[in-house]
């Protein structure tokens, strides 16, 4: 007897660029706070964590639209390709 299959819901539509931008903004704020707060010498690496997080968020804002367009184009090509 095979197990009953469950219905797989559709993925939730989200604004991924807005999410990446919010993350980048949060890291920018954290960096500014860490510039204002005196840190011990051994904890200065936290600033680089903020710089890296901000850079990744900006990269995400640039890359996500390209990724989504490429996925849509691939889905359209796949839909128009006759199956053998």
pLDDT (tens digit per residue) in 16-72: 999 999 999 999 999 999 999 999 999 999 999 999 999 999 999 999 999 999 999
pLDDT tens sequence across 4-22 = 888 989 989 999 999 999 9
Domain boundaries, position 53: 16-79
Q: Is residue 28 part of a domain?
A: yes
Q: Is residue 6 part of a domain?
A: no
Q: Is residue 10 part of a domain?
A: no
Q: Is residue 62 part of a domain?
A: yes
Q: Is residue 34 part of a domain?
A: yes
Q: Is residue 39 part of a domain?
A: yes
Q: Is residue 49 part of a domain?
A: yes
- In our burial notation (b when 16+ CB lie closer than 10 A, e otherwise), range 9-44 reads eeeeeeeeeeebbebbeebbebbeebeeeeeeeeee
| Overall number of domains in the chain | 1
Q: Is residue 7 part of a domain?
A: no
């Amino acid at each position: 007897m095979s197990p009953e299959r469950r219905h797989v819901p559709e993925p939730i539509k989200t604004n991924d660029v807005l999410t990446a931008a919010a993350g980048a903004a949060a890291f920018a704020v954290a960096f500014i706070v860490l510039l204002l707060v005196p840190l011990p010498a051994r904890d200065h690496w936290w600033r680089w964590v903020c710089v890296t997080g901000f850079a990744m968020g900006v990269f995400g804002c640039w890359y996500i639209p390209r990724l989504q367009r490429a996925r849509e184009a691939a889905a359209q090509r796949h839909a128009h390709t006759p199956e053998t």
